[in-house]
Structure 1
């Protein structure tokens, strides 16, 4: 429980600081996403509080894309609340998220998320989807990566088993003609699995989290279903690498 306490305190401090910075300097989103979220919050939290190191493996074409400043949609498995910190720590490009429209209405937090480029969408609302596509296109042009968990929920017991994907994020990527990058987080689930808020001490030999970024997937002449199936296969393949 002590690890969880320090993690909560650290998260509250850095998130609060990010909100304050964005309130007084709306154009400081790069500073918030890279200097605060990546270098000051996520990396130290994982190394010194959780007790793990992050090992990153990136496909060559994907690295070139991420470093080009064009942005992409990251489709990743979801095993733990720590996945967000792992994504921040591992990705070479700034990351924002696909979030529920209701978060946009939360005082301070909603505004801060909007300023860094978070994409908000309301399920089943065509007008919301249209605005989300426009927002996604704008976010990508800023060189942001939008992180989506297409399984829709965390895997049971932190198993890391990839569940069937849902179409929502793929509809957005397809309509925005955005490149998709399959991502797999390995070794995160057991540290903070679904159903608990207590960070577990990594076992001896299990203190390395591996993050694999696969080759980019492009729309070409496919469909939403074919795009989703191709990505599902790619993420499952990364889980065995």
Structure 2
């Protein structure tokens, strides 16, 4: 928990001065859900970009095809704590993500994550996983994009773990495209040096979307294996 609080310290400082902006973001009514989400995600993106600059992180993006308009499910490997700010700053689309419920206790951070349409999961409660999936499906159907890390935990640079199939129900039940993302280098910032933050170069590859018609009738296990293989192959090219 101490590491999480330290990690979000800048978020707290930045968010404390933007609380009024958060309230205004809730009241926005633009032409589309995505346009509204872009406005809501403006401050989190500023936070993420500034945090990476402070630490000395250089993001090297690779976008094979721009993500489609409308809600999508981003699926990424999970290397380190800095995956989230790296992706918030570099993915050309606003999104929320699946997070452990303990983060809600962090002042300002939890409030902003709600604005971003994040979904919270109580890992101590097994039945909560089903509720989180149902909530996530609802969020996606409402037009908000989400990001998941199907490994379930950070690899810390020790090699990608097998993807868990359950979270792929989010795309299957909501009927949204899946956009695979390969991220490499974030473990060099924090995990490999304990609590001492280190400058690093991080590669982010956004792969072409997989549309619902491409995985219609496919089991969640087979879909997870397909996306896992695509990301694994991309990591070997970085």
TM range (shorter): 0.7 to 0.9
1:112, distance to aligned residue in structure 2 (A): 3.6
Q: 1:54 aligns with which of 53, 59, 64?
A: 59
Query: Map of 1:147-158 to 2, 5 A cutoff?
Result: 147-156=147-156, 158=157
Q: Deviations over 1:32-52 (max 9, x none)?
A: 41x2111x21122212x2213
Question: What SS does the corresponding residue of 1:240 show, helix, strand or coil?
Answer: helix
Q: How much has 1:110 moved relative to structure 2? A: 4.2
* Pairwise CA RMSD: 2.8
> Are residue 136 (structure 1) and residue 145 (structure 2) matched?
no
Q: Is residue 2:83 matched to residue 1:90?
A: no
Structure-1-length-normalised TM-score: 0.77
State the partner residue of 1:190: 188
Cross-structure match for 2:127: 124
Report what 2:31 is aligned to.
none
**Cα distance in 1 between the residues matched to 2:187 and 2:108:** 30
1:160-217 Cα shifts (integer Å, max 9, x gaps): x210011232122211122111111112111111783221244xxxxx3210011212
1:43 corresponds to 2:49: yes
Judged with a 3 Å threshold, the aligned counterparts in structure 2 of structure 1 residues 107 and 137 are, in CA distance, closer, same or farther, namely farther
Q: Is contact 2:26-2:115 (8 Å) kept?
A: yes
Cα distance in 2 for residues equivalent to 1:58 and 1:194:
27
1: distance between equivalents of 2:166 and 2:221? 11
How many residues are aligned here?
Answer: 218
Q: Which runs of 5+ in 2 are unaligned?
A: 29-36
Gaps of 5+ in 1: 203-207
| 8 A Cα contact 1:103 1:110, kept in partner | yes
Q: Larger deviation: 81-90 or 124-133?
A: 124-133
Q: What residue in structure 1 maps to residue 34 of structure 2?
A: none
The answer to whether the 8 Å contact 2:67/2:209 transfers is: no
How far residue 116 of structure 1 moved from its aligned partner, in angstroms, is 2.4
User: 1:163 is matched with which residue?
Assistant: 161
With normalisation by structure 2, the TM-score equals 0.78
In the alignment, the residues of structure 2 paired with residue 52 and residue 132 of structure 1 have an alpha-carbon distance, to the nearest angstrom, of 31
Distance 1:186 1:128 in 2: 27
Match of 2:80 in 1: 80
